[in-house]
Amino acid sequence: MSSPKTLYDKIWDAHVAHEAEDGTCLLYIDRHLVHEVTSPQAFEGLRMAGRPVRAPEKTIAVPDHNVPTTAGRNDPKNMTEDSAIQVAALDKNAKDFGINYYPVSDVRQGIVHIVGPEQGWTLPGMTVVCGDSHTATHGAFGALAHGIGTSEVEHVLATQTLIQKKSKNMKVEITGKLRPGVTAKDITLSVIGETGTAGGTGYVIEYCGEAIRDLSMEGRMTVCNMAIEGGARAGLIAPDEKTFEYCMGRPHAPKGAAWEAAVAYWKTLFTDEGAHFDKVITIKGEDIAPVVTWGTSPEDVLPITATVPAASDFEGGKVEAAQRSLDYMGLEPGTPLSEIEIDTVFIGSCTNGRIEDLRAAAEVVKGKKISVKRAMVVPGSGLVRAQAEEEGLADIFRDAGFEWRLAGCSMCLAMNPDQLSEGERCASTSNRNFEGRQGYKGRTHLVSPGMAAAAAVTGKLTDVRELM
């Protein structure tokens, strides 16, 4: 009998196309997702070398980072000139190289990590890459999903492989049940709070345990999405009935006999009893509270019931970083987090821009009015947007005073016109609170959709449980 394997080991082994003596492997890539920001130089490289895309049928492109989320965006005149150039470059590259494409005008357009699963491109057991660090999202399906740089994008376009060495295995187990008001976002932020932003470096994380099993596919995607914020290149969750149910009937999922064969294979994708992990972290589900970030690193996580820390609470290089964060965020140590006033609320991104996220936010907002300067909902894809309209969520948001936008990355990284101004403070469902991330000198507090909605209603960071 062969030795027990982890889920990561199994997917890895099934994709090694070549192994050199020093362990450097060519990992075969099943799905290559592409967006407009990290791909132009890669396609240019192909052109210059006269190389085709090796597997255009496995390559899927969608513009998301730059696109405006307001009406009239099909007209390039409504984009800044440089954004329009990047989007036009993707239009042209998709056409010239014959890859699958969802242009801005297509209702299926949206954030690449939302479109992939939604269209059934992402399936269990696959290797998925994208020139984007949040590719980790697709790990929720039990797919090995890596973010890569532009040179690697070019490498995958040309060869359908990635040069890789195997990472170490880490298990993150969330035991038991979550308490009411606690969500997938709180899990993933709490894990980063525990391990730090470099804790996962060199590892592929497998998330498991009852609290993970209990999550919907949307929630699992939220958890894996932020594996990268913990330093891990990929996060994984073993596929189960929920996964199969989510995939079934999607446009690019297998059908009929192929579906049966696929499911039979997918059922073998789990970590064997006794398989070795290099590192194990266990967190009790009931110990996780609704959390917010106070600083400018995703590891700066505290329960909403806590107070702003002082730089002296930290050690080593983190003292200077914490002081810098406090200055940047304009926060006084000792202030209760729930007294921090919010100017803007952003609900969206590949972390929390799916239908379930919008439902959770709408539930809190329903029948209430916002008391922040501005609040926006940016659905993760055109299809999420359509579904939310059908379910009446859009009306709930609009009635409360939210802007109801078109799909894209939007204020998650503010490459389009949706930006914070200097000093503006935002409760955001996105994944990064770095300096300047949402706009020059903008201040970001990362939260779950329910917490963002609660902040919109009260005008302060708020414990969502008080509104439930």
Contact positions vs ligand SF4 (CB under 6 A):
64-65, 111, 113, 132, 134, 349-350, 409, 412-413, 430-431
Kindly state the smallest distance separating residue 397's Cβ from ligand SF4, in Å: 19
Q: Which does 349 bind (CB under 5 to 8 A by kind): ligand SF4, other proteins, none?
A: ligand SF4
Which residues lie below 8 Å from residue 1, measured CB to CB, with a gap of 6+?
A: none
Kindly state the smallest distance separating residue 356's Cβ from other proteins, in Å: 25
Q: Which does 165 bind (CB under 5 to 8 A by kind): ligand SF4, other proteins, none?
A: other proteins
The one-character DSSP state at 280 is E
288 φ/ψ angles, rounded to the nearest 5 degrees: -85, 130
Site for other proteins in 261-300 (CB under 8 A): 261-262, 265, 297, 299
**Which of the stretches 195-203, 274-282, 284-292, 354-362 binds other proteins when contact is defined by CB under 8 A?**
195-203
Closest-CA residue to 411 (of 446, 461, 386): 446
Closest-CA residue to 279 (of 194, 208, 204, 176): 204
Number of residues that bind other proteins (CB under 8 A): 79
Kindly state the smallest distance separating residue 392's Cβ from other proteins, in Å: 35
Site for other proteins in 145-164 (CB under 8 A): 147-152, 154-155, 158-161, 163
Nearer to other proteins by Cβ, of 267 and 460: the residue is 267
Nearer to ligand SF4 by Cβ, of 338 and 349: the residue is 349
d(CA 285, CA 211): 6
Nearer to other proteins by Cβ, of 183 and 325: the residue is 325
Nearer to other proteins by Cβ, of 1 and 264: the residue is 264
DSSP string for 350-368:
HHH-SHHHHHHHHHHHTT-
Neighbour count for residue 282 (Cβ, 10 Å): 11
Which residues lie below 8 Å from residue 327, measured CB to CB, with a gap of 6+?
A: none
The answer to whether residue 202 forms part of the interface with other proteins (CB under 8 A) is yes
d(CA 121, CA 250): 8
Q: Which of 267, 324, 359, 465 forms a contact with other proteins (CB under 8 A)?
A: 324
User: Count of residues for the chain?
Assistant: 468
The answer to whether residue 254 forms part of the interface with other proteins (CB under 8 A) is yes
Nearer to ligand SF4 by Cβ, of 409 and 451: the residue is 409
The answer to whether residue 258 forms part of the interface with other proteins (CB under 8 A) is yes
Q: Which of 63, 68, 117, 125 forms a contact with other proteins (CB under 8 A)?
A: 125
Kindly state the smallest distance separating residue 449's Cβ from other proteins, in Å: 22
User: Which residue spans within 311-450 are E strands per DSSP?
Assistant: 344-347, 374-377, 403-404, 425-428, 443-446
Q: Which does 271 bind (CB under 5 to 8 A by kind): ligand SF4, other proteins, none?
A: none
Site for other proteins in 54-113 (CB under 8 A): 58, 65-66, 80, 82-83, 85-86, 89
Residue tagged 């149910």 (tokens): 245
290, 465 in Cβ contact below 8 A? yes
Nearer to other proteins by Cβ, of 17 and 280: the residue is 17
Q: Which does 154 bind (CB under 5 to 8 A by kind): other proteins, ligand SF4, none?
A: other proteins
40, 93 in Cβ contact below 8 A? yes
- Largest interatomic CA distance in the chain: 64
87, 66 in Cβ contact below 8 A? yes
Kindly state the smallest distance separating residue 287's Cβ from other proteins, in Å: 25
Nearer to other proteins by Cβ, of 362 and 409: the residue is 409
Nearer to other proteins by Cβ, of 197 and 371: the residue is 197
100, 120 in Cβ contact below 8 A? no
How far is the first Cα of the chain from the last one, in angstroms, to the nearest whole number? 52
Q: Which does 412 bind (CB under 5 to 8 A by kind): ligand SF4, other proteins, none?
A: ligand SF4
Kindly state the smallest distance separating residue 60's Cβ from ligand SF4, in Å: 14
d(CA 424, CA 223): 27
Handedness of CA 274, 277, 278, 281 (dihedral sign): negative
Nearer to ligand SF4 by Cβ, of 100 and 159: the residue is 100
Give 101's strand partners: 61
Kindly state the smallest distance separating residue 156's Cβ from ligand SF4, in Å: 18
The answer to whether residue 435 forms part of the interface with other proteins (CB under 8 A) is yes
The tokens for 280 are: 């194990």
Q: Which of 201, 307, 371, 387 forms a contact with other proteins (CB under 8 A)?
A: 201
The tokens for 314 are: 């930290």
